[in-house]
Amino acid sequence: MFEQNQKLSGAPAKKIVIVGGGTAGWMAANLMAKNWANKGFEITLIESPDIGIIGVGEGSTPQLKGFMDSLGISEQEWMPACNATYKLGIKFKDWSVRPGFTSYFHPFPAQPDDYTAPAFFHNSYVRRQGVDVQGHPDHFFLATHLAAQKKSPIASENFPFEINYGYHFDSTLLGQFLAQFARDNGVKHVQATINDVRLGAGGDIVSVVTEGGQEISGDLFVDCSGFRGLLIQQALKSNFVSFGKNLFNDSAVVVQTPGTEELESQTISTALKYGWAWKIPLTSRIGNGYVFSSSFCTPDQAETEFRQHLGLQESDVAVRHLKMKVGRLEQHWAKNCVAVGLSQGFIEPLEATALHLVQETVEGFIDAFEKGSFTDRNRAQFNNSINDRFEAVRNYIVAHYRVNSRSDTDYWVENARNEHLSSSLRSVLEAWIRGKNISDELDRQDIDRYYPSISWNCLLAGYGLYPEQHQLKPGNELANKYDLNNIQDFIHRCSLNFQSHRDELNRMMGS
């Protein structure tokens, strides 16, 4: 690494070498170029023409909008180029078999929810005390209503309230778009396959060597080489921590199907026998995948079930089978190398967190590196921060499986029985079951910055994790303090300010 406390002022240009492209590599290149191109850095990205990208993650959280805004890229520029659509949240189907709770919608927050969310918090709390009030989250949020009507999140000008949203996109096209943007902003692009990684006497990476014999040296290396972790895992031997004990899924089968005229503005996640299937709408097609555990079924069994789920015959279309390495590194920044994307870790795409983790990693590294005067002074603090974020995402994903009520296969039964829970997750679930305000528990642990209270409440309420219907009693005036009809009317009238998803995208493209 750079010598402790050495600054760049007056020093030769420092070389950053990014190994691997795809969305993760080009996001890293663009963010580093934006922050450091005028500080004497030279950025080179090496991308193998022989290694394709996995291209599974085609959904995002709202943070992707902040990434594009920070680079000055408008939606009119990138969305049509990537066949992108808007995403208001995720609908979960068949994760629960509790009556009235077989599906729920996890919304991204909107400013008008400030009016309706207190009613949801109140009702979910009171229902856990045994009072018969409406506790299903689908009745309380604007995004849920908009998604059900296949509307976009873009409001008319006379509705001046913030609506958070994510995107669906073609990950291959997004990588290509970001690559061109990076090249236009001075990032050097080398197409080559790495054949060797050379280390110095102190264990730092000195250079990488291509199959053609070209040696490319650098001061700082960014590993975006995917699951194989060419630099961080193979060369630097950074230890990988498996999440297999409480996240069973390790495989996926994916296929593309034709799009429809009416365009959903939500991801749909449907629980199947040995995992779950996603449905992601793009302007050009629909992306479909089945994430499953190979410990409970074979790939052929998964493919057969998936085709039945989609109504596809074996001769209709070819599918792709993928293996997933679920877990994280102990050190995302080791020696003079930082890992970004699949090389640093992966948590199944249930809540579309892959690009969020990429963005948090790169932005966090840029901040730590600068505050440390471009030395490794803040490396331990950075690694702890990223590990905390991975663990917080893992806890939230594990909760989806742990509180499921299905019993049709051993897969779901074993997930519900799984006692490999962190103390953090165990405390949150215990607070909910005991009828406490889980916002207090999230505050106590300081984890609501990862998933806020609304997200946790929607998850646990959406599964119907309440007393059984026969155990509930009628509520008094205090318990029924919110009028659901007024809330529904408010949400409906708010929704009148939004167009259909298809019409909004047509307007953007000028058609």
CA distance 483 to 473: 18
CA distances from 170 to 84, 200, 250, 283 (A): 7, 40, 23, 10
CA distance 336 to 206: 9
User: For the stretch 107-119, what's the b/e string if a residue is b when 16 or more beta carbons lie within 10 angstroms of its beta carbon?
Assistant: bbbbebbeebbeb
Q: Quote the CA–CA distance of 227 and 249 in Å, as a whole number.
A: 15
d(CA 502, CA 363): 33
- What tokens were used for 25? 């590599």
Rounded Cα distance, 461 and 443, in Å: 19
Q: Which two tokens stand for residue 492?
A: 């409906």
Tokens of 363: 């932005």
How far apart (Å, rounded) are the C-alpha atoms in residues 263 and 500? 8
What is the rounded (10 degree) CA torsion for 212, 213, 217, 223?
Answer: 50
Which residues are known catalytic residues? Answer: 87
Longest dimension (CA), the chain: 79
Query: Hey, what are 244's tokens?
Result: 């297999």
Specify whether the CB–CB gap between 263 and 85 falls below 8 A: yes
d(CA 472, CA 467): 7
The helix/strand/coil state of 191 is strand
Q: Where are the beta strands (DSSP E) in 336-492?
A: 337-339, 345-346
Hey, what are 432's tokens?
């909910």
